[in-house]
Amino acid sequence: MERIHIPAQLIMKNKGQEGPLELPAYQCPLCQDRGLILRDGRAYRCRCMQQKAWQNRLRAANLAPQLSRYTFQNFDLKYYSRTLNDELTGTTYYESARRCLEAARRFVATYRQETRGRGLFIFGPVGSGKTFLAAAIANALTAAGREVLFTVVPDLLDAIRATYDRRPQDGSQTELELIDTARKVAVLILDDLGAHNYTEWTCNKIYSLINYRLINELPTVVTSNLDLKALEDYLGERTTSRLVQLCQSYHLPVAEDIRCLISREGVTKK
């Protein structure tokens, strides 16, 4: 009979204890962390591997833990007024938000399969839910197995600047690698393209990125607290004109910062 080897650490742990030997717990009891399940002589991929693949895609998408929980299902239209009128669209705030939500859903439905086409430019005041919708798009496409990169524009620019202070041999990403990743990723989400301190250098970087994705018809989502006319004062006409070609615009109006409303709701419930 073949002799069974018991790891020493298990023997020490159970020494002097009564009852059965404690075996290490598996993260997945179905496949015992092998990634495969044998059934009727055939091997099947365990669902835990799909979960791990999804988690890896989330990390690659650069979604923070809070953002990874945003979905279309918990985007609540109750925060958008049914009586206040949106002068830009000629409808109520509620109807503008509903249209924006539907556009985001269509974007996901389209780019689950398609690889080329127009994107979305979602603009509105601070706290109107722009980042929420953008993250919901990223989560839905990531769950569908698409390659997505979610990046906050000021953070991306800071990361590019930081490469100038690094030595080439330290193993960190170079400027070209960072820019190429954003240029060529299947779906790019640029969050918070707003009223920042844009220098000629930053304007050129943003122009280069948007122009590349326009020329190659790569789907892109951009959020901003400014409309395209106001953005033109910061980024210049050549960049905003390409944004118009790259993305379909949707206004997301709100009477009050939704984060403040939710915070007050939490206080009221206590």
Task: Give the domains, in start order, of the chain with CATH numbers.
Answer: 26-61 (no CATH), 63-261 (3.40.50.300)
CA–CA separation, 240 and 232 (whole Å): 6
What digits encode the pLDDT tens for the residues 151-188?
999 988 888 888 776 655 555 667 888 888 899 999 99
Q: Which amino acid would we find at residue 221?
A: V
CB of 223 within 8 A of CB of 119? Answer: no
Residue type, position 153, single letter: V
* Model confidence at 4: pLDDT above 90: no
| Average pLDDT, integer, range 107-127 | 96
* The token pair that represents 200 in the structure block: 């000629």
Report the relative pairing of strands 91-92 and 85-86 from DSSP bridges: antiparallel
Alpha carbon distance 212, 69 (integer Å): 30
CA distances from 120 to 107, 154, 219 (A): 8, 19, 8
Are 46 and 37 in contact by the 8 Å Cβ rule? The answer is yes
Phi and psi at residue 123, in whole multiples of 5°? -130, 150
Per-residue pLDDT of 42-90, as tens digits, reads: 776 666 555 554 445 445 556 777 888 999 999 999 999 999 999 999 9
Q: How confident is the model at residue 25 (pLDDT cuts 50, 70, 90)?
A: low
Cα separation, 76 vs 133, in Å, equals 11
pLDDT at 3 over 60: no
Residue carrying the six token digits 């018809």: 217
DSSP string, 187-248: EEEEE---S----HHHHHHHHHHHHHHHHTT--EEEEESS-HHHHHHHH-HHHHHHHHHHEE
b/e map of 67-91 (b: 16 or more CB within 10 Å)? bbebebeebeeebbbeeeebeeeeb
Find the largest Cα–Cα distance for the chain.
84
- DSSP letters, 15-73, are TT--SSPPPPPPS-TTTTTSSEEEETTEEEE-HHHHHHHHHHHHHHHT--TTGGG--ST
Average pLDDT taken over every residue of the chain: 83
* pLDDT confidence of residue 221: 98
Q: What is the pLDDT of residue 171?
A: 57
Question: For residue 29, with 0-12 CB atoms within 10 Å meaning exposed, 13-18 middle and 19 or more buried, which class applies?
Answer: exposed
Cα 107 to Cα 26: distance, rounded to the nearest angstrom: 39
Mean pLDDT across 28-42: 74
pTM for the predicted model, two decimal places: 0.76
Two tokens at 111? 């780019």
pLDDT band at residue 130 under the 50/70/90 scheme: very high
